[in-house]
Amino acid sequence: MQKIIINGGKSLKGEVAVSGAKNSVVALIPAIILADGIVTLDGVPAISDVDALIEIIEIMGGSVKRHQDSLEIDPRGVKDMPMPFGKINSLRASYYFYGSLLGRYGQATVGLPGGCDLGPRPIDLHLKAFEAMGANVSYEAEAMRIATNGKPLHGAHIYMDTVSVGATINTMIAAAKAQGRTVIENAAREPEIIDVATLLNNMGAHIRGAGTDVITIEGVEHLHGTRHQVIPDRIEAGTYIAMAAAIGQGVKITNVLYEHLEAFISKLEEMGVRMTVNEDSIYVEEQGPLEAVTIKTAPYPGFATDLQQPITPLLLKSKGRGKIIDTIYEKRVNHVPEMARMGADIQVLGGQIIYEGGKQLTGAPVKASDLRAGAALVTMGLMAEGRTEITNIEFILRGYSDIIEKLTALGADIKIVED
């Protein structure tokens, strides 16, 4: 078992580049199954979720070549086969194979999705959309089978009962090769949805409205190969911005799209964080006193739930009392007792996180409960006096490309060791 060791109290200084978006690439790779030719993705992050997706594509018969941050994927050898195996079950984004296999073969048998435990995250909206397009759903042991029973997938008018990034993307992928027009109402608007739509359109799809709450897809018969640049990871960017504000002496974060982070940046400004926003970078100064704020997560363009945990260590440096309300994932509070173990004045009351800043943090053994909680504990370890040991680091490596190398280059004393 691996763990991260941090000797805290060392200031960060220098420049760090943000990698491609994890939440985009985990949908882009399954979507490539629809292509009749080779697709190259540039800006692919070096994360374990990508490794798992590559292995899945190869098991299915596809070919993948990797060169630095580029992937060349040839999906032409992908077979129509059931996939209820371990890699599927460890990966939440495995559900995107439902849409891509359904679009290519009219059927998909895929193991039930895994990922971080953040409370109920049902895939009912995905299934409702597939059924509206002519598919039937059944369960076989640990897998789900979705099939059109020999009939072509057809377009449909679909209203999402709740805003869902996964369901919006999955419906879009399946509809790309369906017969006729599909309209998605109350669609999610996240940048990652635009990224997937851009890839599909570059492959020959006809998708309009991505980034708005109504997306229209005109199905096509064939999709061809292309080359696509993955957008920067706004959650990784926000994580490093928060780290820089918490313990930096001047850090420049590059490959940042400010328009993807407006709600997050606005909250930092409310706290009094001093920074300079440039066209594709943000420079974070050494900070003075900060004010406590209340954060309430919301679907994009609101404050991202994925940035709720990474900003929490910075909140603990503020003056006064504040709270965090996560309206997206009710169980996204498991980082709180780990932070309290390090000396933070923080607790969960009535489903809300209540904190008071200004307490001295001390290194301690802590455990990551999910991806973003793990990133928050890394920041806590950087801020704390003494030694912090973080276990369950497989969560962190799922979503943060080269995090040890990037933080080391900024001056952190951090390493991975075998336990």
On whether 410 is known to bind a ligand per the annotation, the reply is no
d(CA 153, CA 159): 18
Residue 235: the pLDDT is 98
- Structural domains in the chain? 2-19+232-418 (3.65.10.10), 22-229 (3.65.10.10)
What are the tens digits of pLDDT across the range 153-198?
999 999 999 999 999 999 999 999 999 999 999 999 999 999 999 9
Question: What is the phi-psi region of residue 227: left when phi exceeds 0, alpha when psi lies from -120 to 50, beta otherwise?
Answer: beta
Question: Residue 118's pLDDT is what?
Answer: 44
What would the mean pLDDT of 204-228 be, rounded to a whole number?
98
Average pLDDT, the chain: 94
Of 228, 229, 230, 328, residue with least CA distance to 22: 230
22 is in an annotated binding site: yes
Check residue 120 and give its pLDDT: 42
Q: Is 181 annotated as a binding residue?
A: no
Amino acid at 317: K
Closest alpha carbon to 238 in 309, 180, 322, 332: 309
Secondary structure in 3-state letters for 236-283: HHHHHHHHHHHHEEEEEEECCCHHHCHHHHHHHHHHCCCEEECCCEEE
pLDDT at 314 exceeding the cut of 50: yes
Given the residues 41, 116, 304, 342, select the one marked as catalytic.
Answer: 116
Q: Is 418 exposed, middle or buried (0-12, 13-18, 19+ CB in 10 A)?
A: exposed
Query: If you average pLDDT over residues 199-216, what whole number do you get?
Result: 98
The reply to whether 116 belongs to the active site is yes
Instruction: Judge contact between 419 and 3, C-beta under 8 A.
Output: yes
Q: Is 122 annotated as a binding residue?
A: yes
- State pLDDT tens for residues 99-148: 999 999 999 987 766 544 544 446 899 999 999 999 999 987 777 889 99
Cβ(384)–Cβ(9) under 8 Å? yes
Beta-carbon count within 10 A of 400 CB: 26
Q: Distance between CA 146 and CA 131 in Å, rounded?
A: 9
Q: Do the annotations mark residue 123 as ligand-binding?
A: yes
Distance between CA atoms of 272 and 101, rounded to whole angstroms? 48
Averaged pLDDT, 357-362: 96
Work out the pLDDT band at 92, boundaries 50, 70, 90: low
